[in-house]
Structure 1
């Protein structure tokens, strides 16, 4: 999804930062890195920060002389800035920028994100080439971000928006809700189990099941949770039949 997203570093001062940016690009699924007029670029200094995993991103980076060359062919260009106010109106945050980028990319566009020099950022002349500007909110005690930090913050938001399904740590997306029919099966199974352990009264078990039903009505039960509860219920019934009162040992 982010194949047409381009990260542009404008006149970066330190090769180590370029290497760190390459690694950030790899982490967030971006392979298109363009560097404009780097100051004393040294591949040997940049490689250790890229790590062996992002080496190919760094080595395939395009180096050009002007910002115009770097954004050539793009349908939208967004610059980063720490300066706000004045004529710089309607500045986006990383989250709102990610929404715009996602819309442009899904519409078949090609988008460039431009990050300025570490010491002074983009000038008015350079931002004139941008479709919009973005700033990363920070604490007033420390408003300056390392170049690679800024890149990874912005790309992280773009990466999240690019996912067709929400990312779930440690596993697949959440399973579907249990259907009404499945819930009725579970309630019937629960009733048999609670009768087996003498939790429900035999005279009117449907009535005594009402609090259980009300409890589950407050929960958006998922299919995997339904399976879990059914398994527990079956195991309890098996235990009662095998080791319960009246069973010969």
Structure 2
């Protein structure tokens, strides 16, 4: 079983595809399915495609209203894309991604595989919150059916899990890793601090933040490190305020120069 791994479907368009994706999850041993603002959602239409094997996964699927809520509890997020170039750099093939996913899951982290809607995929803004992007190579017609893409990625994860050395212990839940929600707080603080000291410019700020995001997300971010970096950001902002580069924050209780972060 792919413990700690979840499939997250962002705004899936067709309930039948959700059902087929649930069946793929059951086939490959992934028990967790999350639906983010599904369009025209119908359990009745999804159930036949899930079949009896996928029905338990489908019925247990968590339905949430936005992407932030869906990803909040995960330490690592892998986004899928058929488009390349521009913002979509450093793409992993499914096999390479699966090896990392399994290693992270065996280390006790919770990992999400994020899939976009059938008609348009993930936008640049949505891929921005992913620590890594994955693309499935094809001979032509790069856009795959949603359930096919889910099946292919989970198949590679299952193989990687089976190929792990026998007796490899599975670590307990990684309670000391920063969650995706905490990482997003950190990136917002880093963005503000780097803007304040002139490292980032006001134009295309999100694009130029991508290398910073990828750098921070390259290794597991522990909560103590999250606290430390949040403290660094607060100190940078305080220095910028003292230098007149930034308006003081409306936080009279904040201790100037404090390096202590917030969890």
TM-score range, shorter chain: 0.5 to 0.7
TM-score w.r.t. structure 1 length? 0.64
CA distance in 1, matches of 2:120, 2:129: 17
CA distance in 2, matches of 1:63, 1:87: 29
Please state how far the C-alpha of 1:73 moved relative to its aligned partner: 1.1
SS in 1 for 2:91: coil
CA distance in 1, matches of 2:87, 2:121: 16
Which of 1 and 2 has greater Rg?
Answer: 1
Q: Which residue of 1 aligns with 2:122?
A: 122
Q: Which residue of 2 aligns with 1:84?
A: 84
CA distance in 2, matches of 1:44, 1:3: 28
CA distance in 2, matches of 1:53, 1:87: 38
Q: Which residue of 2 aligns with 1:105?
A: 105
Q: Which residue of 2 aligns with 1:22?
A: 22
Superposed CA deviations along residues 41-74 of structure 1, whole A, max 9, x for unmatched, are 0011000000012111000000001111111111
Q: Does 1:32 align with 2:32?
A: yes
Q: Does 1:143 align with 2:147?
A: no
Q: Which residue of 2 aligns with 1:160?
A: 159
CA distance in 2, matches of 1:44, 1:134: 31
Q: Is the 8 A contact 2:78 2:114 kept in 1?
A: yes
SS in 2 for 1:49: helix
RMSD: 1.2
Superposed CA deviations along residues 205-248 of structure 1, whole A, max 9, x for unmatched, are xxxxxxxxxxxxxxxxxxxxxxxxxxxxxxxxxxxxxxxxxxxx
Q: Which residue of 1 aligns with 2:60?
A: 60
Please state how far the C-alpha of 1:12 moved relative to its aligned partner: 0.3
Which residues of structure 1 form unaligned runs of 5+? 167-249
- From the superposition, tell whether residues 38 and 100 of structure 1 become closer, same or farther in structure 2 (CA, over 3 Å): same
CA distance in 2, matches of 1:54, 1:89: 34
CA distance in 1, matches of 2:99, 2:121: 23
Please state how far the C-alpha of 1:164 moved relative to its aligned partner: 5.2
CA distance in 1, matches of 2:88, 2:117: 19
Q: Does 1:73 align with 2:73?
A: yes
Please state how far the C-alpha of 1:3 moved relative to its aligned partner: 1.7
Which residues of structure 2 form unaligned runs of 5+? 166-263
SS in 1 for 2:12: coil
Q: Runs of 4+ in structure 1 displaced over 2 angstroms?
A: none
Q: Which residue of 2 aligns with 1:201?
A: none
CA distance in 2, matches of 1:38, 1:23: 17
CA distance in 1, matches of 2:2, 2:72: 17
CA distance in 2, matches of 1:39, 1:89: 29
Please state how far the C-alpha of 1:87 moved relative to its aligned partner: 2.7
Q: Which residue of 2 aligns with 1:134?
A: 134
Please state how far the C-alpha of 1:143 moved relative to its aligned partner: 1.6
TM-score w.r.t. structure 2 length? 0.61
SS in 2 for 1:163: helix
Superposed CA deviations along residues 10-41 of structure 1, whole A, max 9, x for unmatched, are 00000000000000000000010000000010
